[in-house]
Structure 1
Amino acid sequence: MTASSKLPAREGRSALDPRPLSVKRGVNPHAPGSAHLIMGHTEILATVTLEDKPAPHMRGKKEGWLTAEYAMLPRATNDRQARERNLQNGRRHEIQRLLGRALRASVDLSHFRNQTIYVDCDVLVADGGTRVASILAGHAALHDFCDRLIHSGRLSDWPLTHKVGAISVGLIGEEIRVDLDYAEDKVARADLNVVATDTGLIIEVQGGAEEGPIRQEEYMQLLNTGVEAVKGVMAQLGRELAVIQGV
C-alpha cells in the first residue's frame, strides 16, 4: 500500500473541489433573515435579528454594529457534546469573533445607525469546516435579511457591500486539498481557514502547521489556493441564492 492510498478518500471530488453546497433561505418564520446551509455533511442554521438598540461602544457613532454568536448542538458530532452554556468557552469565543469580523466586512453599517445586527450560527451537523460554513450561512442569512428590507421599503439601497465567504484548505501529505472534512482535517500537516471576498480580497486567515514547520512557499500555495476556492464557492452560493424567489 502506498502512502497516498492511506490518505482519506474524497467521495468522488478532486483535491481542489469543495464539497457540494446547497442553501435554503427564509427557513425561520420568526427571524427577519435566515438560511439553512448544507456543505457536504456539515449543516448550519443561521438567523439574523435586528435590535433597535446600539451596541454600548457604538453609542453616538454614525454606524450600527454587527455581532455574531456560534454554538454546536450536543449531537452535531459522533459523540454527544455537553451543551455549550459557558459563554467563556475559548473555542466558541474565538469562532464568534471570526464570524463577526468576517460578516461586518460585508455590510455598510451606516444603514443601521443606533441598531445592532445579531447573526446566530448553530451547527446542526458537524463534519469539518463548521466555522467557514457558518460564514457562508451567515452571508446567506444576511442576503435574505437585506432582501426583505428592500422589498418592504425599509431600505432603498442594498447594504451588502461585499460578498464574503470562506473555505478551509490543507496540506494532506504533499497534496493541497480544498474544503477539508473531519477525516482530512485530522491528518493535515497544515491547514488554513481563508476568509475573502468573491473578488479575491483577503479579510482574514487563520491556521498554520500541525506537525512541524512548513516552507514559506507551501504556506503561500495554501493561501492562494484558498483565495481562488472562495471565489468558486461564492459563485456557487450566488447561484443558489439567485434561484430562490425574492420575498
Structure 2
Amino acid sequence: MLTRNRPADVLRPVQVEYNLQPHADGSVLMKMGNTHVLCGVTVEEKVPPFLKDKGQGWITAEYGMLPCATHSRGRREARSGQSGRTLEIQRLIGRSLRMMVDLTELGEHTLRVDCDVINADGGTRCASITGGALALRLALQKMVEKGMLAKLPSILPVAAVSVGVVEGEVVLDLDYSEDSNADVDANFVMSGDGRWIELQSTAEGAPFQPEMFTSMAELATRGIDQLFTLWEGKTEL
C-alpha cells in the first residue's frame, strides 16, 4: 500500500519563480511537488515556411529531461535522438499553448517555448504546460514593451494537471510512485473559461467505467481552478 502525505484531492505544493533566465523573453521555474520544470520563451522574428506571408504567428514547444532529472542518469537526447515520448509530449505542449492567443494577432513571429525538466517526480508534461503558459504571458508582455506588437493580444489562460486511480481511489496530481502504481492515469488540459483543450486517459490494467472518468474530470477541474489562481499573482499554492 502506498503512503501518501496529502489527501487524494489536494495538489502537491506548487511554487512559481519568474525571470530566472535573463536572456529569455519570459521564463518560469514551475515546481509541483518534486517535479521542477524550467520554462523559457524565445521570440523569433520569423515563422515556419508553411506560414510565410500568411500574416500570422506561431507557438511551438521543445521538451527535454536533464540527464540527472530521474533516479538514474538518462542520456542526452541531443546525442541519442529524441524519443517518441519526448516528441509526443512537446507536441502536446505546443498544441495546448497555441490555444492561448489568436495567432493572427502575433504578426510573423514565432514564440518558442523550451521546457527543461530539472527534476522529475511525475506530471512533467502538465507542469510544462502550466509553467509554459505563464512564461508565454511574460513573453507577450515583453513583445509589447519592445514595440514588436502594437498591443497585448487577448490571452486565454491554460493549465494542466494529472489525475489517476490508485488502489481504487481517484487521486489528483500524481507523483511518480502513484503514477507507476496507477490502474488508470490521465492528463487534463483546460482553458481559463472552463473548456477542455486536451484529455489523455489510459487504463493500465483493466478497462474503466465512464463514471470513473467523470470523477477524474471533476477532480481535475478543481485542481486546475487552483492553478489558475497563479494567473492572479500567487506564487505558491
Contact 1:191 1:207 in 2 (8 A): yes
Say yes or no: does 1:158 pair with 2:187.
no
Contact 1:22 1:237 in 2 (8 A): no
Distance 1:33 1:236 in 2: 16
Distance change >3 Å, CA 137–CA 64, structure 1 → 2? same
Distance change >3 Å, CA 185–CA 160, structure 1 → 2? farther
Contact 1:146 1:158 in 2 (8 A): yes
Question: What is aligned with 1:222?
Answer: 216
5+ residue gaps in structure 1? Answer: 1-5, 243-247
Question: What is aligned with 1:23?
Answer: 16
Residues 184-234 of structure 1 deviation map (CA, whole Å, 9 limit, x = unaligned): 001111011000013321000112111111111111211222123211211
Distance change >3 Å, CA 110–CA 203, structure 1 → 2? same
Count of aligned positions = 235
Question: What is aligned with 1:7?
Answer: 2
Question: What is aligned with 2:74?
Answer: 81
1:152 Cα deviation after fit: 4.1
Correspondent of 1:65 among 53, 58, 80: 58
Contact 2:56 2:103 in 1 (8 A): yes
Say yes or no: does 1:127 pair with 2:121.
yes
Distance 1:241 1:7 in 2: 29
Distance 1:150 1:22 in 2: 27
Find the residue that maps to 1:79 and give its secondary structure: coil
Distance 1:170 1:28 in 2: 33
TM-score (norm 2): 0.93
Question: What is aligned with 1:56?
Answer: 49
Correspondent of 1:148 among 130, 134, 142: 142
Question: What is aligned with 1:111?
Answer: 105
Distance change >3 Å, CA 216–CA 174, structure 1 → 2? same
Distance 2:39 2:191 in 1: 19
Contact 1:8 1:184 in 2 (8 A): no
Residues 54-85 of structure 1 deviation map (CA, whole Å, 9 limit, x = unaligned): 11111122311111000000000111111112
Distance 1:195 1:34 in 2: 20
Residues 80-111 of structure 1 deviation map (CA, whole Å, 9 limit, x = unaligned): 11111244410000001000000000122223
Correspondent of 1:34 among 13, 27, 30: 27
Find the residue that maps to 1:240 and give its secondary structure: coil
Question: What is aligned with 1:245?
Answer: none
Q: Which runs of 4+ in 1 moved over 4 A?
A: none
Find the residue that maps to 2:21 and give its secondary structure: coil
Residues 148-188 of structure 1 deviation map (CA, whole Å, 9 limit, x = unaligned): 23344443432252100000001112211100000100111
Find the residue that maps to 2:121 and give its secondary structure: coil
Residues 122-160 of structure 1 deviation map (CA, whole Å, 9 limit, x = unaligned): 000001000000001101111221232334444343225
5+ residue gaps in structure 2? Answer: none
Contact 1:189 1:211 in 2 (8 A): yes
Question: What is aligned with 2:132?
Answer: 138
Q: Aligned Cα RMSD in Å?
A: 1.7
Distance change >3 Å, CA 202–CA 231, structure 1 → 2? same
The residue identity in structure 1 corresponding to 2:192 is D
